[in-house]
Structure 1
Amino acid sequence: MTTSNDDVPTNFRSLVESAERKFAKVRDTAWYGRQPNHYFPKVFKSYMKLWEYQQKNRSKLVESGLQRWEIGEIASRIGQLYFVQYMRTSEARWEMVNLLLDRFSGLLHDSKSKFPDTTFKEWKVVMQEMVRFMKVDAAFLNTRPLRYCAMFDSHPKSLPYVARFHAKKVLKLRDALLMSYHRNEVKFAELTIDTFRMLQCLEWEPSGSFYQKQPVESHENGTTTDQSATSGLIDINLVADMTDPSLPPNPKKAILYRPSATQLLAVLASICDELPADSVMLIYIAASGESGQTTVPQKHISGSVRTSLKLNTVYEQPISLVNGKGGSSHPVESSIWLGPTRRGGSNNLYPVDLIPFTRRPTFFIIDSDNSHSFKVLHGAERGEPAALLLSPLKPTFKSQSSADIAQNGSQFTLFLTAPLRACWQMFGLAYSDDEVDVMEDAESIVSAAFSEWEVILCSLTSVDLVWAQVLSEPLLRRIILRFIFCRSVLTFFRRREENDPYLPVCFPELPDSVSPNSEVVQSAVMRLADHLKVSHCFRFDNL
């Protein structure tokens, strides 16, 4: 049955209203929790029907007054759906989100030219955030992906050792909470550059293409649809499978931006409650903080219960807080800031707030200028010993012009997600297409080192169970190897001040055979320094 010209605008408006009603039901869906939202497929199907209808009847709709911004609104909704689905499941196509953002940019510029008297203030802010966000790593677009890629991140020489390694307990990474906040930091919407890097680091690189762009599409009625970059249209299959069946599932991720402490703890409680028995939860928190001035007297840590008046809570405190010595004292009021207000209360997260969640296996990454106050978690766990990776208190740079966290993101996070990018930034090296061979050779040096360190870790019988139980998990094993690399590079860097504030720490300790003092670790850093021609920046006293 042929659709008349009068029916086309009416049908289109009806489809828009139907899609909008469905969209409203999923727009504010929580980005965490393991329970699937069965309503999402209905919303996707509704927008697929709307998108296809406007494609097939584009000329009639334009004649009836359809504006280009209305098509952009549909694309925006589709982008939001993909983004929410990606945040909830980690399985939606991030490339599709980027494609939609690219089309949105074209639509915005087109609208500004057609409506010069309209300010588009809010959209300008979105565009400025997007441009700033994508500019940070623009020079490294053609380098290795942040996501785990079997071609680059699995090492043939060490694979047999990894395959044979089996701890008394083996855990899988199933859930992660990611939170980052620094004033004026690079972000897009509520996704900061540090959170984005860590998010990508906890995913598998797809093996195939997940979308196709088709410049021109012909229809039965003889019309064509321009799908080029300037048309504002996207060839999108909303019912296509969003997962790569050849890869393990990505861990679920809850991404928070400027939450209150109670909101963050509530999300953690929800994740812990639903965490499968054979799983470990990763908690990544990157934020500024401050050290408290009050310390705990020895008599207060010799018992089993301590009271914090400011927190108005009572929590158990074991004798051994950090190093097993009851005489140690630690800041009571040390905290990190989850938001812009620094006067305590709902924006402050204290180390002891995280202790209840150690009833389940937990892998902590704390990236803060007050990270070392979280040492108190070690030995204070409530059931399962936790793994802790704590950032340096100060970043290390050859030139302080690179030290702006707001512009470049955190150095420690960059080491854990893209270690060679961190080195380039640390030494103030410029990267361009002419440096591809230099980068590839550097990647080979680092990959060889990681392979050797994997063999060592998987051959030892004395690795602490906290690390042993996650060595079989590729995503976490890669983070551990990168931590070893980060610690060694920062240890050997030549500086006038004492090293301690500039070094990351881990609890429990990793084996001495992969410490900065070991020859196998030192030699790898030396090879890389020689290759990058920055040996003068290091001090290798033990070789």
Structure 2
Amino acid sequence: MSQQQNSNIPVSEVFWTLADKADKKFSNIRDLPYYQRTRHDTYFYKVFKVYTHLWKFQQENRQKLVEAGLKRWEIGEIASRIGQLYFGQYMRTSEANYLSESYIFYEAILTREYFKEGLFQDVNIANKQLRFLARFLMVCLVLNRREMVQQLVNQLQVLVGECKRTFQESDFKEWKVVVQEIVRFLKADTAFMNIRPLRYSLVLDPHPDTLPNVSAAITKRNLKLRDAVLSSFHHNEVKFSELTIDTFRMLQCLEWEPSGLFYQSTASKLSHNGATGVTRINYSQDIADPTLPTNPRKAVLYRPSLTHFIAVLATICEELPSDGILLVYLSASGSCGAAQNEPGCILFGPHGDGGSNCIYPSDFLPFTRRPLLLVIDNDNSKAFKASLTTSSFISLVFV
């Protein structure tokens, strides 16, 4: 009886019910933090599940839905959400397969021009296209696909100019800032474009088995780098969105470069203009390179307050596996010592807050109960090396 009732419901009504359900679930997870290890996995599984259902339903009933009024930009919006989900899951897990899947969906949107229809008749569609290009740019940057990055930058520049001329009543100043950010970012990173990848490569780097041995005490504990917190604070620092040039490079340095057959299989998938990616989405699908260890999870914090930074550290330490090492990378140009006669700290925030943005070596003491690798990229970093010495603490200092 229920199947008969369902068959009487118009296809368009079923679709919009699914779309509304997916939209609500997406809104619930949009602002969840990236740094909590498994607390929100159930939410993401549910969101992927409903979007899988929605995407397959619109594929199977595309003609009926188009006849009922479904627009191409609405299909593109669903695909864009799926790309966002995959990229968000990459940011939470550091698993490269999610990053590749995000690229596949975004590339399909680009090649199929889902947002082209009505682009210069509706400012909302124009903004959707601009947001899509910016998100795809971020994925391509992290994935190190520089040719596509340049193509997207050119499209973004042209589109912003055309939108300004077409929608004169709207203000596109914020998009001009986005264009300026990415151009400045690429200019700063030009020196790295034609050099070897920043990610650890089995082809270009020594094999892990050939690296110098660590002490027997550490080997006995079988410790592994499991988590990392990456953050920077510089005046007028080079960034794109909330990814600064420093955290961008460190993010790549803490990952393995896919190798061998994985490169070939990924390239063959991407050569079909996204066809593979847009015919299936599977949250649990495992396409990771089996020859490589897992990447450490990374929490990238953009200009956090000191209290938020400490709270994130505490959360990650609480969830750190028993065999885990936590890496903390801080990049800052300021020092609190000159103004307050306290040479043992660095300024991690704007001036004039009465020292509330100063990070002291003692701020890290509670976290040295767990194996900790601290990287301080600051002229005052020696103070941290001198102050922090415990059996489980490892300090790397850049000056």
| Whole-angstrom distance in 2 between the partners of 1:253 and 1:275 | 12
Cα deviation, residue 77, structure 1: 1.7
Question: Which segment is superposed worse, 54-63 or 68-77?
Answer: 54-63
TM-score, normalised by the number of residues in structure 2: 0.71
- 1:269 corresponds, among 314, 318, 323, to 314
- 2:281 corresponds, among 237, 251, 260, to 237
Unaligned runs of 5+ in 1: 217-225, 297-329, 392-543
- 1:167 corresponds, among 202, 210, 216, to 216
Unaligned runs of 5+ in 2: 123-165
2:9 corresponds to 1:14: no
Q: What is aligned with 1:501?
A: none
Amino acid corresponding to residue 363 of structure 1 in structure 2? L
| Whole-angstrom distance in 1 between the partners of 2:103 and 2:114 | 14
Cα deviation, residue 160, structure 1: 5.0
Q: What is aligned with 2:369?
A: 359
2:234 corresponds to 1:147: no
Q: What is aligned with 1:97?
A: 102
Cα deviation, residue 65, structure 1: 3.1
Question: Which segment is superposed worse, 15-24 or 88-97?
Answer: 88-97
Task: Write the mapping of 1:122-201 to structure 2, written as runs, cut at 5 A.
Answer: 129=181, 133=185, 136-137=188-189, 140-141=192-193, 143-155=195-207, 159-160=209-210, 162=212, 167-170=216-219, 171-201=223-253
Cα deviation, residue 102, structure 1: 5.2
Secondary structure, in 3 states, of the residue corresponding to 1:253? strand
Task: Write the mapping of 1:355-504 to structure 2, written as runs, cut at 5 A.
Answer: 355-379=365-389, 381=390, 384-391=392-399
Q: What is aligned with 2:120?
A: 113
Q: Is the 8 A contact 2:343 2:380 kept in 1?
A: no
| Whole-angstrom distance in 2 between the partners of 1:123 and 1:291 | 35
Amino acid corresponding to residue 218 of structure 2 in structure 1? K
- 1:252 corresponds, among 265, 287, 297, to 297
Amino acid corresponding to residue 200 of structure 1 in structure 2? Q
Q: Is the 8 A contact 2:326 2:371 kept in 1?
A: yes
Cα deviation, residue 58, structure 1: 3.5
Q: Is the 8 A contact 2:361 2:388 kept in 1?
A: no
With over 3 angstroms needed to count, the CA separation of the structure-2 counterparts of 1:139 and 1:374, relative to structure 1, is closer
| Whole-angstrom distance in 2 between the partners of 1:150 and 1:21 | 43
Amino acid corresponding to residue 247 of structure 1 in structure 2? L
Q: Alpha-carbon deviations, 1:247-283, whole Å to 9, x = none?
A: 2121122221111101111111122223233332110
Q: Alpha-carbon deviations, 1:160-193, whole Å to 9, x = none?
A: 564x765222231111111123344333332222
- 1:282 corresponds, among 318, 327, 343, to 327
What's the C-alpha RMSD, in Å, of the aligned pairs?
Answer: 3.7
- 2:44 corresponds, among 40, 43, 58, to 40
Q: What is aligned with 2:158?
A: none
2:67 corresponds to 1:67: no
Secondary structure, in 3 states, of the residue corresponding to 2:228? strand
Bigger helix fraction:
2
Q: Alpha-carbon deviations, 1:391-443, whole Å to 9, x = none?
A: 3xxxxxxxxxxxxxxxxxxxxxxxxxxxxxxxxxxxxxxxxxxxxxxxxxxxx
Cα deviation, residue 202, structure 1: 0.8
| Whole-angstrom distance in 1 between the partners of 2:171 and 2:76 | 14
Q: Alpha-carbon deviations, 1:27-83, whole Å to 9, x = none?
A: 222211333512312211221222233334434433433333323322332222122
With over 3 angstroms needed to count, the CA separation of the structure-2 counterparts of 1:294 and 1:257, relative to structure 1, is closer
**Structure of greater Rg:** 1
| Whole-angstrom distance in 2 between the partners of 1:135 and 1:19 | 39
Q: What is aligned with 2:57?
A: 53
Secondary structure, in 3 states, of the residue corresponding to 1:358? helix
Amino acid corresponding to residue 66 of structure 2 in structure 1? V
- Give the paired residue count: 338
TM-score, normalised by the number of residues in structure 1: 0.54
Question: Which segment is superposed worse, 200-209 or 139-148?
Answer: 139-148
Q: Percent identity, please.
A: 49
| Whole-angstrom distance in 2 between the partners of 1:120 and 1:96 | 33
Cα deviation, residue 151, structure 1: 1.6
Cα deviation, residue 104, structure 1: 6.2
| Whole-angstrom distance in 1 between the partners of 2:368 and 2:117 | 53
